[in-house]
Structure 1
Amino acid sequence: MNKEEISLFVERNLTNFSVNSTGWEQLIRKLLFEFAIAGWNMNHRVFGKEKFGGLRCYTYSEDETLNNKLKAIKDKYSELSVKTCEICGSEGKMRTIDSWQTTLCLNHFLEQQPILEIDYKQNIRRNNTIILNIRNIIKADLEYDFQRVWLYTEEQGETFYFSWQEPNYYLLLKTIPLSLFPEDRRNEISMLFQSLDGCEICGHKAVYQKSCLRCHNEQWNESGYFIENYGEKSNYIKECQMDIFMDEEDYEKYFIYDRSFEKLSGYQILFSSDDLREYEKLLF
């Protein structure tokens, strides 16, 4: 086995990996190189693909000793793949886009996530492209928990779908005329927006049935779980606020565009920089 043989083996097998883009190419090259060094027969092909946002390699050996080595290599690069952007190869993390799991850096995540906007002419836009005008909607259907809406127009029965995972979703829901929804849902929708309370955690008037539609945190109550884990209300609010500030999932960076909910006057941040440092030590 020499360097040239290994290089040819790597190049031959790169195309056997079905992935979404070129961001994992270096990971795949290293995986194939380590296969060769471990003793894999380079006359045999190696296959892999992207699945659930991670790199998967299904090749195995009937030789138990070799197979154990291959498994360790496969596990190593599977773990690395969910920290590597599939598009550019920079640091990434697992994301969910339209119910599909993918591993992306922040820039490519925001690039692929649609930004829903409603302009003064009642045009519904995604990433500045007009999708439809609210005046052209002839019917609207809503999921039982308000988290998805389907809008219909007269043009060839065209249907448009929006979900709570998009900024300004609830603004859209509030803007659609109630008369377009099924009669038995109209009162529910109206009550949703009339009954919103303020969230002491994120500072938006977005609490519906004890849960915040903006930050998705449950509101404090005197149940055993909250008392046992946080002691008092201020500790719970403080910890939730620190989670929002650290924004590990980049949710706030995406929802910076959201205008669905009114901001509360007098909203207070309860944690200090010292609190944040101590909390980060516990987590990381």
Structure 2
Amino acid sequence: MKQELINAFIERNLKNFEVNSTGWNELIRQMLFEFAIGGWNIEKDIFGKEKYGELRCYTYSEDKELNTVVKNITQKYAALSMETCEICGNEGKKRSVDSWETTLCLSHYLTQKPVIEIDEELNVRSNSKILLNIKDIVKVDIEYDLQKLCLYTEEPVYGTEGISFSWQEPNYYLLLKTIPLHVFPPDMQNPVSALFENLQHCEICGHKAVHQRSCLRCHQEPWTESQVFIEDYGEKTNYIKACQMDSFIDEDDYEKYFKYDRSFEKSHDHQILFGHHDLKEYEKLLF
């Protein structure tokens, strides 16, 4: 088969894929090339799309042998797509952004995740865009676990009644601490105040962020002499060391995302308990 015909087939069908950006274009081109040399009738179009962060290609042949080839090709490129950033084509992995599954490199993942910022004039920004000013807040709705709040001003912002924030965004607790107590519902003012008054230092991450048996910064539990902890780790030092190594490895990129979080003060004498050898041995167990 002439290369010109294959190229025309590839470029014609590239337009038949509904994807979020151009990062998968080379993957799709290579997949279409394998279709062409694998026996597919290049007069017939192929269609596909992105779904749940994967490249899906819905193609079928009544020829059983060809259908096996087609299935192998589509499965191969579905797997490759889950390791390729949809935007730039660099190495990526599946991530969740605003409840949507997508495959992104770290750089494009971080640019799409909201980061709360509060400037000296008390403007609340998200990814550098001013959303409101804390002095203009007239009402706050907050969930009883204090992990989500909705802020209201006298003048609706951007046509919405309120703007929501959650604990999953860096500086959420800084925002919660900065909002004047009197705008919270009366029954929630004491819980909000008590949260910050009763925080304890976390021996794992070093932040003063332990609240009700969990660290609000690293989300680990403090060590207890419980049977489960003792069976799994033996002693406190081993537990802290394992948790610290998990944070350092940062497989889900949480620490990279929360690098600029200023919600909690960090102890100056916080100790890292693991060394290079410990980390290498731990990685062998994980990977």
- Match of 1:215? 218
- Match of 1:258? 261
- Match of 1:164? 167
- TM-score, scaled relative to structure 1: 0.94
User: Per-residue displacement from partner, 1:129-154 (whole Å, max 9, x unpaired)?
Assistant: 32110111111111232222111112
Deviation at 1:68, TM superposition (A): 2.4
Runs of 4+ with deviation above 4 angstroms: none
User: Per-residue displacement from partner, 1:192-211 (whole Å, max 9, x unpaired)?
Assistant: 22222211111101111211
| 2:165 counterpart SS class | strand
Deviation at 1:33, TM superposition (A): 1.3
The amino acid that maps onto 1:74 is: T
User: Per-residue displacement from partner, 1:42-66 (whole Å, max 9, x unpaired)?
Assistant: 2222111111122111222233332
| 1:117 counterpart SS class | strand
- Match of 2:270? 267
Aligned pairs for 1:138-149 within 5 A = 138-149=138-149
User: Per-residue displacement from partner, 1:249-275 (whole Å, max 9, x unpaired)?
Assistant: 222222111110111232110101111
| 1:184 counterpart SS class | helix
Distance 1:155 1:231 in 2: 57
| 1:256 counterpart SS class | coil
- Match of 2:280? 277
Could you tell me which runs of 5 or more consecutive residues in structure 2 were left unpaired when the two chains were aligned.
Answer: none
Aligned pairs for 1:41-56 within 5 A = 41-56=41-56
Distance 2:138 2:286 in 1: 50
Distance 2:40 2:163 in 1: 50
Aligned pairs for 1:16-27 within 5 A = 16-27=16-27
> Aligned pair in 2 of structure 1 residues 17, 193: CA closer, same or farther (>3 Å)?
same
Instruction: Determine if the alignment matches structure 1 residue 123 to structure 2 residue 123.
Output: yes
> Aligned pair in 2 of structure 1 residues 132, 238: CA closer, same or farther (>3 Å)?
same
The amino acid that maps onto 1:231 is: G
- Match of 1:188? 191
| 1:200 counterpart SS class | coil
Cα root mean square deviation, aligned: 1.6
- Match of 1:237? 240
Deviation at 1:125, TM superposition (A): 1.4
Instruction: Determine if the alignment matches structure 1 residue 86 to structure 2 residue 89.
Output: no
Distance 2:60 2:200 in 1: 57
Distance 1:224 1:234 in 2: 16
Deviation at 1:128, TM superposition (A): 2.6
Deviation at 1:221, TM superposition (A): 2.4
| 2:258 counterpart SS class | helix
> Aligned pair in 2 of structure 1 residues 60, 226: CA closer, same or farther (>3 Å)?
farther
> Aligned pair in 2 of structure 1 residues 188, 12: CA closer, same or farther (>3 Å)?
same
Distance 1:75 1:216 in 2: 36
Aligned pairs for 1:4-23 within 5 A = 4-23=4-23
Deviation at 1:215, TM superposition (A): 0.8
| 1:141 counterpart SS class | strand
> Aligned pair in 2 of structure 1 residues 197, 64: CA closer, same or farther (>3 Å)?
farther
Distance 1:51 1:251 in 2: 24
Deviates further, 269-278 or 55-64:
55-64
The amino acid that maps onto 1:191 is: A
Instruction: Determine if the alignment matches structure 1 residue 226 to structure 2 residue 229.
Output: yes
- Match of 2:250? 247
Deviates further, 203-212 or 247-256:
247-256
Deviation at 1:91, TM superposition (A): 1.1
- TM-score, scaled relative to structure 2: 0.93
Deviation at 1:189, TM superposition (A): 1.6
Distance 1:184 1:72 in 2: 59
Give aligned-pair identity as a percent.
Answer: 65
Instruction: Determine if the alignment matches structure 1 residue 34 to structure 2 residue 46.
Output: no
The amino acid that maps onto 2:125 is: R
| 2:278 counterpart SS class | helix
